[in-house]
């Protein structure tokens, strides 16, 4: 893994686009936990195999059809497993994969199959199942809000991706590395993260274990840039336990500390520009100057089956966990909406930077994207 070659350029040019985008979204009602279009439908018990679980799946699919570009591919990865709480009857687990690749890689090339083995995908993940016990548990931060954030980000960058890819030729003349263009984005809404009785290697991560195994054993056509969908993951960004006030998210892995720092720079830039609502005692991402020797331990979560197979992981989970974690208080009332909206802005900025969307986030002519003060550059 490496940073995109155009990173320096995008860092200096992204701020104006982000400003225009972030300020236009300040009163965005998407995250209203009662009436909002994205989060509210997820805030219900959604134990695998129950009706609430099915309703949330329908919400995800309807959101994609209604709000995202038709080129997004929707794929369900279905599996079943027995759990220690439910006896011999297998429980259905369904991971939802939402994927958008550059248009020149999605066409079927005659006689050669699809070109999908040539796209490196920024992979954003969160789990949508909720705890089996206590009954009625909502799991607002765990992980309804992270799922909502990912849907929000997909919609926030969608039109810019279209514009970016349509202008490929004029923008990229002279670019040294064609591979830099073959970047896609995919969102994994994972199922069965929670343990049903007590966390063990087999009672947890039902969906992510199955998906990582399937992808490790799926071969792209010979001669592709990547040999499997697993290898095509450029970075696995896992969001969990977000939505409570004053989060502090450590950098967990030396190998991806560079990506953590990139995310921290987006937060710092948005704060400096006055585009975030919260005024926390410490930044959400405060570990940007961490030395390698200070990395200590990590949290077991959906990244594990991928990380074990060599995938680079950025884990966005606060430490300590929110006080409401795995209690009946993890509900809509205990969410902090300014914190959620700030996470939406930070993650949008990160994805926009990764996908080289500077200059494409607003409609042409809608907002000034040039001539802005560049002294704010970090
Ligand atoms: Zn949990």
* pLDDT tens column, 121-138: 999 999 999 999 999 999
Q: In the chain, which residues have pLDDT < 50?
A: 1-14, 16, 23-24, 26, 176, 367-378
- Would you kindly state where each structural domain of the chain is located, as residue ranges? 7-109+116-168+180-354
pLDDT at position 268? 96
Residue 326 CA to ligand 1 centre (angstroms): 6
Residue 375 CA to ligand 1 centre (angstroms): 42
Residue 160 corresponds to which tokens in the numbers above?
A: 């810019």
pLDDT at position 108? 61
Please say whether the beta carbons of 183 and 234 come within 8 A.
yes
CA distance readout (Å), 188 to 31, 147, 183, 302, 317: 20, 9, 16, 10, 16
pLDDT at position 112? 54
Class of domain 7-109+116-168+180-354: alpha beta
Residues with CB under 5 A from ligand 1 (ion): 142
pLDDT digits (tens, 9 = 90+) for 9-39: 334 344 545 555 554 454 567 899 998 899 9
- Which sequence positions are flagged as catalytic? 193, 240
Residue 142 CA to ligand 1 centre (angstroms): 5
pLDDT at position 19? 55
Residue 330 CA to ligand 1 centre (angstroms): 10
Residue 171 CA to ligand 1 centre (angstroms): 44
Residue 47 CA to ligand 1 centre (angstroms): 12
Residue 204 CA to ligand 1 centre (angstroms): 10
pLDDT at position 126? 98
Instruction: Tell me how far apart the alpha carbons of residues 237 and 246 are, in angstroms, rounded to a whole number.
Output: 21
């Amino acid at each position: 893994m490496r940073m995109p070659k155009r990173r320096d350029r995008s860092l200096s040019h992204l701020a104006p686009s982000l400003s225009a985008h972030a300020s236009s979204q300040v009163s965005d009602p998407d995250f209203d936990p009662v009436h909002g279009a994205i989060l509210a439908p997820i805030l219900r018990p959604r134990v695998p195999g129950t009706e609430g679980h099915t309703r949330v799946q329908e919400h995800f699919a309807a959101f994609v059809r209604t709000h995202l570009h038709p080129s997004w591919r929707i794929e369900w990865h279905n599996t079943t497993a027995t759990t220690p709480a439910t006896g011999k009857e297998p429980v259905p687990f369904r991971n939802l994969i939402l994927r958008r690749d550059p248009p020149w890689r999605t066409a079927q090339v005659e006689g050669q199959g699809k070109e999908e083995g040539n796209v490196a995908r920024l992979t954003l993940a969160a789990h949508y199942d909720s705890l089996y016990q206590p009954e009625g548990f909502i799991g607002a931060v765990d992980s309804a809000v992270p799922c909502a954030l990912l849907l929000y980000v997909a919609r926030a960058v969608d039109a810019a991706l279209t514009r970016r890819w349509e202008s490929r030729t004029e923008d990229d003349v002279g670019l040294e590395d064609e591979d830099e263009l073959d970047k896609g984005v995919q969102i994994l809404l994972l199922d069965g993260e929670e343990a049903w009785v007590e966390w063990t290697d087999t009672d947890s991560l039902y969906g992510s274990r199955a998906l990582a195994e399937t992808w490790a054993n799926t071969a792209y056509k010979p001669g592709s840039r990547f040999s499997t969908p697993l290898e095509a993951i450029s970075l696995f960004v896992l969001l969990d336990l977000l939505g409570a006030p004053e989060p502090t998210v450590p950098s967990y892995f030396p190998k991806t500390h560079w990506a953590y720092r990139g995310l921290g720079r987006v937060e710092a830039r948005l704060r400096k520009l006055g585009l975030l609502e919260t005024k926390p005692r410490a930044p959400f991402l405060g570990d940007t100057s961490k030395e390698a020797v200070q990395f200590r331990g990590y949290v077991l979560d959906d990244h594990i089956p991928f990380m074990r197979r060599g995938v680079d992981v950025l884990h966005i989970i606060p430490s300590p966990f929110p006080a409401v974690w795995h209690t009946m208080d993890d509900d809509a009332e205990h969410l902090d909406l300014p914190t959620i909206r700030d996470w939406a802005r930070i993650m949008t900025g990160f994805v926009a930077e990764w996908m080289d969307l500077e200059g494409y986030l607003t409609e042409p002519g809608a907002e000034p994207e040039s001539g802005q003060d560049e002294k704010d550059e970090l």
